[in-house]
Chains A and B, each alone.
Chain A
Amino acid sequence: MTQVAFHPDVFTWPSDDPQLIGGRCADCESITFPRPTSCARCGSTSVEEHLLPRRGTLWTFTTQGFLPKEPYAGGETNETFQPFGVGIVELGDDVRVESRLTENDPAALTIGMELELRVVPFRTDPDGTVVMTFAFAPVEQAAGEGA
């Protein structure tokens, strides 16, 4: 089964330790995600690729309880749609990023909990290709790791 990233410039993949690809301003050093064409802080057009930490903490979260309208491309229908978690994840001193979460139960999510980046199936196309996206998982759920 073929797996492809939903977009080539968002995370390093295939990789055992995928990382989000951010940008670091060569002039003011501010870090953003994804890598922008210019810096949101100072306007500099010198923004270098900067790989972001794989682990972070949950700054806030919600659940997406209804099927988003187009341009959403998850392939679900109102009948098959399952709510998914979304959060802002603080990655050390670098930046906070918005991401899908592997957990969609608010009772299992706590602000401040530790999370780690995963690359997970997003949708399966008619030809069988599985489109992959990034998501953060609670660390205690990560395979082979303790809480």
Chain B
Amino acid sequence: MVDVAIIGVGLHPFGRFGDKSAIDMGADAVRAALTDAGIAWPQVQFGFGGSFEVDNPDAVTSRLGLTGIPFMDVYNGCATAATALQLTADSIRSGQYDIGVAVGMDKHGHGAFTSDPVDYGAPPWYGEIGHFLTTKFFAMKINRYMHDHGISHETLARVAAKGYRNGVLNPNALRRKAISEADILSSRMLNYPLTQYMFCSPDEGAAAVILCRADIAKEYTPTPIYLRATTLRTRRYGAFEVHASWAAIEQDDAPTVYASKAAYEMAGIGPEDVDVIQLQDTDAGAEVIHMAENGFCDDGEQEQLIADGETEIGGRLPINTDGGLIANGEPIGASGLRQVYELVQQLRGTAGERQVPGEPRVGYAQLYGAPGTAGVSILSR
């Protein structure tokens, strides 16, 4: 199998941008990635575009030049960007192409996402009685987790405060103001135990990644970042998952656990080798749970690790160094490629004020979303 390298990354800031279309944001992200890679659009042989709101992300080609390349559109819930990345990488791994682009873009309205629950495999009445809400699921999952593993409300506040603090250092973030743990705890209770400031917001933005065959990467950049693993997994019978009217008594692990194990196996490394981490922090509780689901600690150890500052930029397990979803918000199609953008900056040593010390070598990114899909990517210098 051909190895794959990242030679360029580009980001359109995450936030609110008035009338600017998601397609135009996506085109800006691709242009930035092309500049970063030192190549021109006609050199890109194929692409995958991810979005929730945009029916045809391939319309970016009309902004970049109609070169006639194969361009495939994907949507896979909150794992959309990981899916675009994996498919782009697989197309190169198969030997079919040398250079391709993965781009994600979205432009969401305010407030929690909604759709027709039937399209998620839920009963038709599920939304009518008020159960079709991702926020409620995340709240119930962390509430049980806190009960089982001794995680405190203060820990949730510390996670959110870190997100906002890292966002202050990120010029591309939606939220760039520190919020105190006390203010986070006393903000409006949206879904107990999660308060308003413990949740991310749907917003707008785009990100793009240029991938190429690893053996030719140095023709384009002196610092290629190698994509060591990309995995996707869906839920198994027995997992407690979002948008489900029932759960089996017989329990199985979350899809993230399976995606993570498969990614470590594919990359030939373990969690102890990872230097910088991006996790799906739809809410502060999700970051706590995902630390364990991705193998970075045992269940319950988060309480002490977070109190000791180990998940800060200067800690032993730097998590969501760019502020994660909490500071960046979640334009679904772009979110996972934003994670990759940040990891590439960290591994190149170009993350500026957010730079993890000690010249990190290995980066890890995880996405999780409805209706129970997880994606993991592992990068290294």
Contacts and interface: CB of A to CB of B under 8 A. Distances in A.
Interface of A: 6-7, 10, 22, 30, 32-34, 40-41, 59-66, 68-74, 83-84, 86-88, 90, 93-98, 100, 106, 111, 122, 133
Given A22-B246, A30-B248, A96-B246, 4 more contacts: A60-B143, A60-B144, A95-B246, A122-B129
Interface string B128-145: 111111001001110110
B114 A71 contact: yes
B249 A68 contact: no
> Which secondary structure dominates chain B's binding surface?
loop
Nearest to A106: B192
Given A88-B140, A111-B144, A66 B244 contact: no
B218 interface: no
A64 B191 contact: yes
28 contacts: A7-B124, A10-B125, A30-B237, A30-B248, A32-B246, A34-B245, A60-B140, A61-B140, A62-B143, A62-B193, A63-B139, A63-B189, A64-B191, A65-B192, A68-B112, A68-B133, A69-B114, A71-B114, A74-B130, A86-B130, A88-B247, A94-B249, A95-B247, A95-B248, A98-B131, A98-B245, A100-B129, A111-B144
A80 B285 CA distance: 29
B192 A111 contact: no
Contacts of A106: 192-193
Interface in B45-72: none
B309 interface: no
B188 interface: yes
B359 interface: no
Given A65-B191, A95-B248, A95-B249, A59 B144 contact: yes
Interface string B188-202: 111111100000000
A36 to B, nearest CB: 9
A96 B132 contact: no
Contact of A86 (B124, B125, B136): B136
B116 interface: yes
B268 interface: no
A71 B144 contact: no
B72 to A, nearest CB: 28
Contacts of B191: 62-65
Nearest to B112: A69
B286 to A, nearest CB: 14
A40 B112 CA distance: 27
B360 interface: no
A61 B143 contact: yes
Contacts of A72: 127-130, 132
Interface in B230-248: 237, 240, 244-248
